[in-house]
Amino acid sequence: IILIRSLFLLSGEGCPPSCDCKSLGETKGLHIDCSSRELADLPALPANTKRLYLQNNSLTSVPPGALDSLLSLEEVTIFDNPWNCDCHILYLKLWLEDISTLSLENTRCATPAPVRMKPLGQLTGNELGVCKRLLPIKCLEFFWRDLILIAGAIITLILVAEPSLPQVQEFPASKTTMTI
């Protein structure tokens, strides 16, 4: 095991210290068992992970993007964790929809109270209602800038399209004015 771990460390594909890892062959990837370790945070995982077992820990959420590098993953189990099904669970839910519908149905929410024991796969947008928020500040800055530019363009168009005011012309011979 020490030899295998040192080979993975040399190649940059190290086993998380709190987990047990087994090689599935040179090109087949890793079997990573992090189950029942009282993990509160997701450990850094090698990209060549094929099987990942995270059940029976203390995981409440997964940071967005944390699992995106696991392109070789074929199996994942994450049930029996106290998942907090608020806005931050949306990344995990969407990721599992692509990777493992079985894990999605076996994973249940622990909090908040209205969704306690509900399978993650059955969460709806209404149950994640606290996620509704205003546009990020950067987007609001673009909104105000664009609003001012549009208002300026409309005013310019109105002024250009407005018919000219009547012009008064005098004819020198008759000394009468005529409005055109």
* Better-predicted residue by pLDDT, 3 or 151: 151
* Better-predicted residue by pLDDT, 3 or 17: 17
pLDDT of residue 124: 86
Rounded CA separation 159/173 (Å): 35
* Average pLDDT estimate for 40-46: 95
| Domain definitions of the chain by residue range | 2-125, 137-179
pLDDT of residue 4: 43
Nearest CA to 75 among 103, 97, 47, 56? 103
Please determine, for residue 134, whether its predicted confidence score (pLDDT) is greater than 60.
no
How would residue 142 be classed by pLDDT, with cut points 50, 70 and 90? confident
| Helix segments in the chain, DSSP class H | 2-10, 90-99, 101-106, 137-161
pLDDT of residue 11: 44
Q: What is the pLDDT of residues 44-101, one digit of tens each?
A: 999 999 999 999 999 999 999 999 999 999 999 999 999 999 888 999 999 999 988 8
Identify the H or E element spanning 84.
strand 83-84
Please determine, for residue 137, whether its predicted confidence score (pLDDT) is greater than 60.
no
Tokens of 150: 């549009």
Rounded CA separation 105/70 (Å): 20
Kindly report the pTM of this predicted structure: 0.65
pLDDT of residue 129: 59
pLDDT of residue 133: 56
Strand positions, DSSP E, 13-70:
20-23, 30-33, 49-53
pLDDT of residue 8: 43
Tokens of 13: 């594909």
Please determine, for residue 6, whether its predicted confidence score (pLDDT) is greater than 70.
no
What's the mean pLDDT when you consider all of the chain?
83
- 34, 42, 54, 160, 168 from 37: Cα distances, Å: 6, 11, 9, 73, 92
Question: 2-125 maps to which CATH number?
Answer: 3.80.10.10
* Average pLDDT estimate for 160-174: 65
- 31, 71, 86, 99, 157 from 74: Cα distances, Å: 10, 9, 27, 8, 59
